[in-house]
Amino acid sequence: METGGTDACEAIQALEKQYLIQNYGRYPLCLHRGKGCYVYDTGGKRYLDLIAGIGVNALGHAHPRIVKIVREQAALLLHTSNLYYHEYQGPLAKKLVETSGLARVFFANSGTEAMEGALKMIHSHGRKIGLEKYEIVSLENSFHGRTLGSLSITGQEKYRRDFEPLLPGVRFVPPNDLAALEAAVNERTAGIVVEAIQGEGGIYPLTVEYLRKARELADRNNALLVFDEIQCGVGRPGAYYSYLLASPVILPDVMVAAKPLACGLPLGVLVADEEAAATIGPGMHGSTFGGGALACRVALEFFDILEGLLPQIVKTGGCFRSELVDLARHFGFVKEVRSAGLMIGVELDIPGKEFVTGGMEEGLLFNCTHDVVLRFLPPYIITESEIDRAVDKLKKVFKKAAAHSV
C-alpha cells in the first residue's frame, strides 16, 4: 500500500517493530497531525477521518475550544490523585447524572476499567444476597474490553481463548433471542450486561423488546442491569445514550461510558442508581489516575458543545446512511447498512480488509470489524459536504473491489 511513504514513517515503524510487544496489527500509516475531520500523515497526505480514534475524537482534531482548555488546565493542575478534591469531578458527575437518569458516578481511565467497576458492583450486589448469586448473563457477539473481568463477559471466543480460565459463572446468550435470555436468567444471576448497539460485533442493534425483557428479568431476579455505552453512547446515536432512544426509556441500574468523553484524553465513567452505587463502600474501589482534573475539565467542555450537536448528529447520520444505502444498491456484495446516528456499519458478503486499504489510498480512514463489516464512527462535527466527499471516494473503492471480485 502507498503510505505517503516517507523515511520518517519507515523509521517509526522499524523502531516499533523492535521495541513494542507485537500485539497490534497496524496499517503502515504514520499520522502526524489533525485538524477538524482530517488527519495528515508524516508525508503530508490528507485523510478524511471516518473512524476518529475508534469513536474517540468526537469533536475531530485540534478543536479550538478543547485546545484552549487543555492549554489552560495544563498550566494550572494536571493531577491530584483521589486523595483530594479538585474543581471538575463534581460538575462533571452532575452532568453525567442529569444526562443519564442515574444517580452517582465513579471515574476511571478507559472503557474496560469502567466495566471492571460495574463487574465489582455486580459481585458485591450478589454477595449481599447470597454466596451463590454471582452469575452474569452476557451476549454472544459482544465486546466489553480486554482486562480479565471484561474479557470474561465478552461474547467472542477469539478474544477469550488464550486467557482462560476467566471469571466463573458467565452465561452467553444470542442477542435478540427473548426466550434464550429468559432461560438464562435465574435467582443466581447477579447481573445482566448488554450493549444496546453491539459495536465491535458489527453495529448490531438490540431490539427495544429485548432491552425491555432484560430490564424485566433483572427486576424479577434481583440482578443489576448494566448497559455498556462505551461505543454506542455519549452522543454518537444522536442522543446522550443509546438507551434513551427507546420510548418509554429503559433505564439500567448501571451504565458505563468512555471513548468520546474527553475528546482523546483517557476517561471512563461508571454511572449507577442509588441502590447499585451503595454496593461500593469506602475503600472497596479506586483509581490513582481516574477523574484527573485535565480529563474532567475537557469532558465538561465537551458536554457543553455536545448539547448543541445532538440534532446535527441525527441529521448528518441520516444523510450518511441514505447515501450509503444508495451506494449499496449498485454493489451486490453489500448485504446491509445498519446505523444509529453517526455509528454506521456496512456489512459485506466478502472480506472487508481490502476496502480499508483501498480507502486509505483514496484518503479515507475507516476500519473493518467482524471481518466483513465496514465501520464508520466519524467525528460528530462532520458536515454533509464531507459526507458527500467520503461517499464519492467510497464509490471508487467499491468499484475497484467489484472489479477484483469478478
Ligand X SMILES: Cc1ncc(COP(=O)(O)O)c(C=O)c1O
The window from 76-84, 141-149, 323-331, 360-368 that contacts ligand X (CB under 6 A) reads 141-149
Does 258 bind ligand X (CB under 6 A)? Our answer is yes
Is 215 a binder of ligand X (CB under 6 A)? no
Nearer to ligand X, 40 or 289 (CB): 289
The grid coordinates of residue 277 equal 452505587
In the list 49, 116, 135, 195, the residue contacting ligand X (rule: CB under 6 A) is 195
User: How buried is 123 (Cβ within 10 angstroms: 0-12 exposed, 13-18 middle, 19+ buried)?
Assistant: buried
If the CB atoms of residues 4 and 111 are measured against ligand X, the closer one turns out to be: 111
| Residue among 55 and 359 whose Cβ is closer to ligand X | 55
Q: Which residues of 148-182 are buried (b: 16+ CB within 10 A; e: fewer)?
A: ebbbbbbbbeebbeeeeeeeebbbbbebbeeebbe
Rule CB under 6 A: say whether 45 interacts with ligand X. no
Of 4, 117, 145, 317, which one interacts with ligand X (CB under 6 A)?
A: 145
Q: Are 136 and 118 in contact (CB under 8 A)?
A: no
**Residue from 42, 100, 110, 124 binding ligand X (CB under 6 A):** 110
Cis peptide before 28 (omega within 30 of 0): no
DSSP letter at 263? B
Q: What is residue 240's three-state secondary structure?
A: coil
Is 144 among the residues that bind ligand X (CB under 6 A)?
Answer: yes
* Three cell numbers, residue 20: 513494542
Grid cell at residue 246 = 427507546
Instruction: Identify the residue among 112, 189, 316, 369 touching ligand X (CB under 6 A).
Output: 112
Q: What is the 3-state secondary structure (H, E, C) of 97-163?
A: HHHHCCCEEEEECCHHHHHHHHHHHHHHHHHHHCCCCCEEEEEECCCCCCCHHHHHCCECHHHHHHH
By CB under 6 A, residue 250 contacts ligand X = no
Instruction: Examine residue 116 and tell whether it contacts ligand X (CB under 6 A).
Output: no
Identity of the residue, 89 or 112, whose beta carbon is nearer to ligand X in the bound complex? 112
Tell me whether residue 136 or residue 401 sits nearer to ligand X (CB atom): 136
| Residue selected from 106, 134, 143, 355 as contacting ligand X according to rule CB under 6 A | 143
Contact pick of 189, 231, 279, 339 for ligand X (by CB under 6 A): 231
Find the residue with minimal CB distance to ligand X: 111
Dist CA 118 CA 270 (whole Å): 7
Task: State how far the Cα of 273 lies from the Cα of 59, in Å rounded to an integer.
Answer: 29
Nearest CB to ligand X, comparing residues 258 and 328: 258
Considering only the stretches 116-124, 228-236, 286-294, 330-338, report the one whose residues sit in contact with ligand X under the rule CB under 6 A: 228-236
Q: Residues binding ligand X: what is the number (CB under 6 A)?
A: 15
Contact yes or no for 206/194 (Cβ under 8 A):
yes
At 295 the three-state DSSP class reads helix
* Minimum CB distance to ligand X smaller for 9 or for 50: 50
Site residues, ligand X (CB under 6 A)? 54, 110-112, 115, 143-145, 195, 199-200, 228, 230-231, 258
